[in-house]
Amino acid sequence: MPIQLYNTLTRRVEPLVPLTPGKIRIYTCGLTVYDYGHIGNFRTFVGVDILQRFLAQQGLDVDSVMNITDVDDKMIARSREAGQELRAYADVYADAFLADMRRLRIQPARHIVRATDFIADMVAWIERLVASGHAYEREGSVYFRLASFPAYGRLSGKDLGGLQAGARVDVDEYEKEEARDFVLWKAWREGEPFWDSPWGKGRPGWHIECSVMAEKLLGTTLDIHAGGTDLIFPHHENEIAQVEPLTGAPFVRCWVHMEFLLVNGEKMSKRLGNFFTVRDLTAKGYAPSAIRYLLASVPYRRQLNFTLEGLDQAAAALARLRSFAERVRECENRPADGAANAELTAAAAAAAQGMTVALEDNLNTAQALAAIFELVRQGNTALDQGRVRAPEAAVLLRALAHFDQVFQVLAPEAPAETARPAAARIEALMAERAEARRARDFGRADALRQQLDAAGVLVEDIKGGGARWRWK
């Protein structure tokens, strides 16, 4: 049976039927790398990882793309504060993002792409939108003409009428025909990084990045486009508008949106002190695999209330799973005559089957975990009674491996796993800071020190000049 997924576009749970048999093309909106990703971001990425691993387990070839947005207003502002080139600033957080993904055992997308590597493609695409009347230039910026795409609003269910005159789809300070039109290309402003275009110096808007990279790498129609629910409007609505008028085909067959999480029952915010990155949690001693387990344990469309108590419980559940696996492994060499015990064989098959059925049902991860814990319960009883010998151990370990192919939580953390950026990157930041100090540009030196601090580095200035650093 094919997996059933909730499609935001049709508002129904539907079977996922690949456009090309045996293959799934999937695009996920990644992170804007102006800072570390928070656990809300990673809930989405863990959810997508569970989905992709399950599709692969079902025998599908998963062709995946994830973008990294490395140019946007916030990044430009922060890199200027730090006195750094945009690319160098983005590198620090892009590296950190990929390191966090690795620690959470998220399989990297087949293509991880950075927006600034595709500017020429974006310019070419915007030119086509202009030539076909779907976009227009004003004072060096280019806007999408919303009135030219009547299907706008289908994904989010927004009433286009509600977006008429005066309403704003995007917050921009530029001249437009209509306030609801959104920007494709932003004209250059003093002090900003820029790329050349037929409309003069400037840079792409955020929405066009995803449309162009998805179309270029995966083709006209994607099987799945995934992201957090906060991206449905306007980002994903705009992505559709930018693509469909030029291709004349549906951009995405199934839109999958992951619900965000609350922390202690409230929206996560730095002000409330309930804002967590993966690093914040590992610094408190939590294992990344426990974080992954917790994020994966609640079905993706349900709100997840993240608490440290919940994380403790996740760690305890994980310990129970691992100690079961350990006990079973100890029985691997217990000789036995004949086939495995029929009751345990049936229990293992039921667990594997139960997990598959649960995941096929719109990725019901909670039910999949329940199926595996039922096996742990029965298996522990059999272990207590000394009924697990080599044949039974093999059967139980196979079921656990089947589970872990998707959930990826059984292996304990390797001691060498680390989320640190490359030392070479730190050296480069140290050199920049030294240069700023020599030039008596203390504002810039301070900003660099803050950036080093955020990267987990302690900087010590040496009396008489120079500085050294070490990991905190």
φ, ψ of residue 254 to 5 degrees: the values are -135, 120
Indicate the residue among 29 and 371 with the shorter CB distance to Zn ion. 29
- Quick check: 355 binds Zn ion (CB under 5 A)? no
DSSP helix, strand, coil percent of the chain (3-state; round to 5) = 50, 15, 35
Identify each DSSP E strand in 259-387 by its residue range: 261-263, 266-267, 304-306
Minimum distance between the CB of residue 140 and Zn ion, rounded to whole angstroms?
24
CA angle (410 as vertex; 300, 342 as ends), nearest 5: 100
Taking the alpha carbons at both ends of the chain, their separation in whole angstroms is 51
Minimum distance between the CB of residue 109 and Zn ion, rounded to whole angstroms?
13
Indicate the residue among 50 and 231 with the shorter CB distance to Zn ion. 231
In sequence order, the β-bridge partners of residue 267 are 262
Indicate the residue among 212 and 396 with the shorter CB distance to Zn ion. 212
Cα-based distances in Å from 314 to 36, 100, 229, 295, 320: 23, 19, 24, 9, 10
Minimum distance between the CB of residue 207 and Zn ion, rounded to whole angstroms?
7
C-beta atoms surrounding 164 within 10 Å: 13
Determine the Cα–Cα distance for residues 105 and 398; give it in Å rounded to an integer: 20
Indicate the residue among 210 and 375 with the shorter CB distance to Zn ion. 210
Indicate the residue among 126 and 294 with the shorter CB distance to Zn ion. 126
Indicate the residue among 115 and 400 with the shorter CB distance to Zn ion. 115
Minimum distance between the CB of residue 52 and Zn ion, rounded to whole angstroms?
17
Minimum distance between the CB of residue 210 and Zn ion, rounded to whole angstroms?
3
Determine the Cα–Cα distance for residues 52 and 404; give it in Å rounded to an integer: 13
Number of residues that bind Zn ion (CB under 5 A): 2
Indicate the residue among 29 and 113 with the shorter CB distance to Zn ion. 29
What DSSP assignment string belongs to 129-185?
Answer: HHHTTSEEEETTEEEE-GGG-TTTTTTTT--GGGGSTT--SS---S--SSTT-EEEE
- Quick check: 29 binds Zn ion (CB under 5 A)? yes
Indicate the residue among 29 and 399 with the shorter CB distance to Zn ion. 29
Indicate the residue among 53 and 235 with the shorter CB distance to Zn ion. 235
- Judged by CB under 5 A, the stretch of 45-53, 106-114, 193-201, 209-217 that binds Zn ion is 209-217
Minimum distance between the CB of residue 28 and Zn ion, rounded to whole angstroms?
8
- Judged by CB under 5 A, the stretch of 105-113, 184-192, 207-215, 254-262 that binds Zn ion is 207-215
Minimum distance between the CB of residue 31 and Zn ion, rounded to whole angstroms?
10
Single-letter residue type at 55? L
Determine the Cα–Cα distance for residues 387 and 379; give it in Å rounded to an integer: 9
- Judged by CB under 5 A, the stretch of 25-33, 103-111, 216-224, 283-291 that binds Zn ion is 25-33
Cα-based distances in Å from 302 to 106, 196, 257, 278, 395: 21, 44, 11, 21, 33
- Judged by CB under 5 A, the stretch of 206-214, 311-319, 325-333, 349-357 that binds Zn ion is 206-214
Minimum distance between the CB of residue 128 and Zn ion, rounded to whole angstroms?
20
Cα-based distances in Å from 175 to 137, 172, 183, 235: 9, 9, 10, 20
Indicate the residue among 98 and 436 with the shorter CB distance to Zn ion. 98
- Judged by CB under 5 A, the stretch of 23-31, 90-98, 116-124, 437-445 that binds Zn ion is 23-31
Minimum distance between the CB of residue 215 and Zn ion, rounded to whole angstroms?
12
456, 418 contact by CB (below 8 A):
no
- Judged by CB under 5 A, the stretch of 168-176, 204-212, 282-290, 382-390 that binds Zn ion is 204-212
Minimum distance between the CB of residue 30 and Zn ion, rounded to whole angstroms?
8
Of 379, 420, 422, the residue nearest 403 (C-alpha): 379
- Judged by CB under 5 A, the stretch of 27-35, 291-299, 355-363, 379-387 that binds Zn ion is 27-35
Indicate the residue among 205 and 288 with the shorter CB distance to Zn ion. 205
- Quick check: 256 binds Zn ion (CB under 5 A)? no
118-177 residues in contact with Zn ion (CB under 5 A) are none
Determine the Cα–Cα distance for residues 120 and 192; give it in Å rounded to an integer: 18
One character per residue 210-249, x = contact with Zn ion (rule: CB under 5 A): x---------------------------------------
372, 356 contact by CB (below 8 A):
no
Of 416, 410, 418, 427, the residue nearest 470 (C-alpha): 427
Interface with Zn ion (CB under 5 A): 29, 210
